[in-house]
Amino acid sequence: MQQIVECPEPGCQVAAEVVSRWVWPSTDGPVEHVKVFCLHGHARTLLTAWLVTPARSARVVYPSTRWN
């Protein structure tokens, strides 16, 4: 299943796709990591806990058009 998140690159904030997931062991228990690629070409590996998912309530606002 495809997961879309916000790009973790500072200042980017475009859509990014999670392309892989894996778990590494640690002394505090397993830690899940992900690899993401954004529309601007940024690629990052980060902890799943650091992902920012776009709000479902977000909506696209189109400029008003006047027909005269």
DSSP string, 7-29: --STTT--EEEEEEEEEE--TTS
Residue 30 within any structural domain of the chain: yes
Per DSSP, what are the bridge partners of residue 44?
A: 36
Residue 61 within any structural domain of the chain: no
> What is the domain extent for residue 19?
4-50
Residue 37 within any structural domain of the chain: yes
Question: CA Rg, the chain, in Å?
Answer: 16
Residue 32 within any structural domain of the chain: yes
Ordered per-residue pLDDT tens for the chain, 68 residues: 688 999 999 999 899 999 999 999 999 999 999 999 999 999 999 999 888 876 554 444 445 555 54
Residue 63 within any structural domain of the chain: no
Domain count, the chain: 1
Backbone angles phi, psi at 56, to 5 degrees: -70, -25
Residue 68 within any structural domain of the chain: no
Instruction: Determine the pLDDT at residue 2.
Output: 84
The three-point CA angle 37-47-29 to 5° equals 150
pTM value is 0.69
